Amino acid sequence: MSTIATIPKIRDALRATFRSGLTHSIPWRQHQLYQLARMAQNERELICDALQKDLGKPKTEVLANELGSVIKRALKSAERLPEWVKAEHPEVIDRQKPWNPTIYKAPKGTVLIISPWNFPMMLSFQPLTGAIAAGCTVVLKPSELVPTFSQLLEEIVPKYLDPNAYRVVNGAIPETTKLLELQWDHIFYTGNGKVARIVASAAAKHLTPMTLELGGKSPVIIDSAYDIDLAAKRILWGKCHNAGQICVAPDYVLVQRDKQDELVRAFQKHYNAFFPKGALDSLSFGSIVSDSHYKRLTSLLSRTKGETVLKGRADAARKRLELTIVKDVAGGDSLLEEELFGPILPIVPVDSLDQAVDFVNARSHPLVLYAFSDNESVKQRLVSQTHSGGIVFNDTFQQLAVSELPFTGVGESGYGYQFMKYTYDTFTQLRSSIDMPKEAEANLAVRYLPHSEEAVKALTSAVYTPIPPSRL
C-alpha cells in the first residue's frame, strides 16, 4: 500500500530501473505484454465483479469492450513490436546518403498514467500497453471513484507485471497532487477538462510532455434523406454503453425539424426492443458512478426547457437512471451546458444542414462528430467544414474497435494520439542521427572559414532557388 510519503520513492525506484536498461530488451517487453494479456484473461471474473460493484457494469460489456480490447491490443503490440522499434532511414538527397541519416526509437523514460472511472480497465491498460511496448517504466494511478477495481489492480498487477518497472498508486486528491509535484518524462491523463487544466499546469512546471483525452459534447448530425429508423437504432446502441458514461457517447442529435417526431418514434421503438421491461433493473444497463454525478444529471433534467418524450425512471438509492430523451432542445438549454456523460439524449431540431454545421462549429471542438448520410457530398462537406478529433459516418461507438486508427481529441477534447502504434509512438522519443564519414571531408571543405567567393555562392545557393508560379 503506497502512501504520500512513499510516492517519491516509488518514482525514484522506477527511474533507477529505467536507467538500468532492464526495459530496453524487446523480448522482455513482449513478455510483459503477454503477462498483461494473461492478467486480463485469468482475472476476468474478479475484474467483472469489481466493475459490477463499482459501476453496476454489465459483465458482457466488460468482457467485450474492456477485457477483450486489452487482450487483443496487448497481443498485437507484442507481435508488431519488433517492426515498430526498428530504426528508420529517411529518403535524402544523394550527397547526404553517406551520412547515414537515422531515426532511432528510444523510450521516453518514467511516465505517469492517470486513468478515469468510466472504462477503468480499458482506459488504464490501453496507455499502459503502449508504455510497456515503448520500454518505459510506469506509475498507474487509477480512479478513486471505482475503489473496488482500483484496489484489485494494486493486488493483481504485481503478480503479473514486473514491480520494479510498473507500480499502481491508489488514493484521491492528496496522492494525485503529490504525483503531480514530481517530474515525469510523460503524463497521460484521461478525464475531464477541469482536472486536465490542473494536470497540465503541474506538468508545465517541469516542461513535461502530455497526452490529454478529455471527451466533450459529441454531436450527431442526421441527413434528412437517411434511414431514420436505422440511425435511431445505432445512436441508441452507442448511447446506452455504460449508461452513456463514455467520452465518445452521442451527446445530442441535430435533425431536420420535419423529421424530429419520426426520430422520436424510432427511438421509442428501439428502446422498448432493447429493454422490454425498462432499463432500471436490467443487467444490461449500468449505474451512475456516484451520488454527485446522479444529482448533476437529475439537475440538468429538471432545468431543461425541452419536451421529454422518453422519460426514464430513477432510483436514487441505487444510483440507477434510465435513458431520458428530450426533443425541441434549443441553444442555451441546460442539456447543452456541459458534456452530459449520462443517459440523457437531447434532440435539437434544425432547418437545414447549414444550420446543423453552424451549430456544431459555434461550440468547442468535440472528440468525435457522428453523421448519418449516404450522400458523399454531404460527407465531404462535413469533413472539410467541421473540426473534431474524429468523424464517424453511419454508426456510433464502433470506431473504437479499429485498433489501427488513431484516437485523439482536438482543442477542448484533448490532444495526443493513442491506439496500438500510436500509443507506442506517444511514449517514444524519435532520436535523429547522422554519422559523418571521414571520406566526406572533401565535400565539407566549403563550410570552413575563411569563405572564398565560390564557397559563399555554394553555401547561399538555396536562397536563389527558382520558385514555380502559383496556379490558382
Give the model confidence (pLDDT) of 374-422 as tens digits.
Answer: 999 999 999 999 999 999 999 999 999 999 999 999 999 999 999 999 9
Distance CA 444, CA 164 (A): 48
DSSP 8-state secondary structure symbol assigned to residue 372: E
DSSP 8-state secondary structure symbol assigned to residue 88: B
Backbone conformation region of residue 56, classed left if phi is above 0, alpha if psi is from -120 to 50, else beta: left
pLDDT at 1 over 80: no
Mean pLDDT of 188-198: 96
CA angle centred on 322, ends 321 and 324, rounded to 5°? 110
CA proximity to 153, closest of 18, 63, 77, 43: 43
What confidence score (pLDDT) does residue 194 get? Answer: 94
| C-alpha neighbours within 13 Å on the C-beta side of residue 274 | 23
Distance CA 387, CA 385 (A): 7
What are the distances in angstroms from CA 463 to CA 449, 450, 454?
20, 20, 15
What confidence score (pLDDT) does residue 2 get? Answer: 78
Provide the whole-model pTM.
0.95
pLDDT digits (tens, 9 = 90+) for 357-378: 999 999 999 999 999 999 999 9
Cis check: omega of the bond before 468, within 30 degrees of 0: no
Element (H, E) at 235: helix 228-240
CA angle centred on 69, ends 15 and 210, rounded to 5°? 40
3-state secondary structure of 192: coil
Distance CA 424, CA 405 (A): 13
What confidence score (pLDDT) does residue 395 get? Answer: 98
Mean pLDDT of 145-169: 98
Pairing, β 428-433 against β 102-107: antiparallel
Kindly list the strands in the beta sheet with 250-256, ordered across the sheet, starting from the edge strand earlier in the chain.
Answer: 307-310, 324-327, 344-350, 250-256, 218-222, 368-372, 390-393
What are the distances in angstroms from CA 396 to CA 210, 271, 279, 323?
27, 16, 20, 17
Kindly indicate the confidence band of residue 204, based on its pLDDT and cuts at 50, 70 and 90. very high
DSSP 8-state secondary structure symbol assigned to residue 73: H
Spatial contact of 170 and 191, defined as CB atoms under 8 Å apart:
no
Distance CA 202, CA 195 (A): 11
Average pLDDT of the residues of the chain: 97
What confidence score (pLDDT) does residue 447 get? Answer: 96
CA angle centred on 289, ends 284 and 291, rounded to 5°? 125
pLDDT at 100 over 90: yes
pLDDT digits (tens, 9 = 90+) for 213-262: 998 999 999 999 999 999 999 999 999 999 999 999 999 999 999 999 99
What confidence score (pLDDT) does residue 211 get? Answer: 98
The catalytic residues are: 213, 247
For residue 343 the three cell numbers come to 443517459
Element (H, E) at 131: helix 120-134
pLDDT at 343 over 80: yes
For residue 348 the three cell numbers come to 435539437
